[in-house]
Amino acid sequence: MLIVFNPAAGNRRVHRLWRVLDILTANGIRCEVARTSAPGDARAFAAAAAAAGTRVVVAAGGDGTIAEVAAGLLGSPTALGVIPLGTANVLALEHGLPRAPRAIAAALAFARTRPLWPGLARDRAGGELLFTQMLGFGFDAAVVARVGTRLKRALGRGAYAVQTLRTLFDHEFAPIRVCIDGADTTAAGVIVTKGRLYAGPYLLAPEADAGAPGFSVVLFDRAGPWAVAAYAASLLGGRLPRAPGLRRVRAGMLSLPGNAPLAAQADGDRAGRDVVGITDAPAPLRLVVG
């Protein structure tokens, strides 16, 4: 078993990783730990382990680390394990993954899996970025782009609330053009999601199925600071899926034609400004569950 550890994501909860390792090794399970030091390391470590026939590769970090490891495992039979150490841990919440060290160790040891079907974002140059939970454009992408590592370490999930307030009155709410399965529409904000949850435990798309092909597309029609405040209040109150000015549709393929370069966020990390198309990955991964 290879554990890919992102120290930047996991500094606040690193004790959870070492406790899981203690339990696994005490039960005779051989583990190796690979520490990342730069973007792309997690994907490279995972791909090399999958090519060597490793049974389980574990992402120890946040949602961004999980997505990188998942990208390295794509197309292989190697299972994806998770030790949640990040700020929001949305994927772990989405799938009810264990958080207590003993329960995590038991899940990794038995390696019972369920399908996880990621999405792929394509840029103008033909490059691809895998996401396991969501891809966002508009205001939420602007917030993610401005949240610094130091703020996240200091405040955890509160960093996003602080940055939301900072971004609220200087964000340009330009309309976003989207083509959803051949039908054109516009919105002030767009979230393409594989899962039901957003920003932690908050419900966004109750109809989403992370193990199946396709996406739920959430379209925010209202723009401006007061609209964002209303959407945020609905999110915190568990009412966002029914909020006025919000549309949810199922889709198999999306494109973003005719837009100026759009900031994007993928699984809570910056995803550049050049995404033009979104499709499913060719096949699902195997996610280790409790």
Q: List pLDDT tens digits, range 78-135.
A: 999 999 998 889 999 999 999 999 999 999 999 999 999 999 999 988 999 999 999 9
The confidence score (pLDDT) of residue 210 equals: 97
Tokens of 274: 């050049």
Residue 175 has pLDDT above 90, yes or no: yes
Residues 6+ away with beta carbon under 8 Å from 21? 3, 31, 33
0.75 exceeded by pTM: yes
Mean pLDDT for the chain? 93
Q: Rounded to a whole number, what is the distance in angstroms from the first to the last CA of the chain? A: 17
CA 36 to chain centre: 18
Domains of the chain: 2-118 (3.40.50.10330), 120-281 (2.60.200.40)
Separation CA 133–CA 216 (nearest Å):
11
Separation CA 13–CA 115 (nearest Å):
27
Least confident stretch, 107-116, 212-221, 260-269 = 260-269
Measured CA to CA in angstroms, residue 88 lies from 45, 127, 195 at distances of 23, 27, 14
How large is the average pLDDT for residues 224-249? 96
Tokens of 261: 């370069």
Please, which pLDDT band fits residue 235 given cuts at 50, 70 and 90? very high
Q: What is the pLDDT of residues 143-170, one digit of tens each?
A: 888 886 676 766 667 777 788 888 888 8
Least confident stretch, 3-12, 24-33, 154-163, 178-187 = 154-163
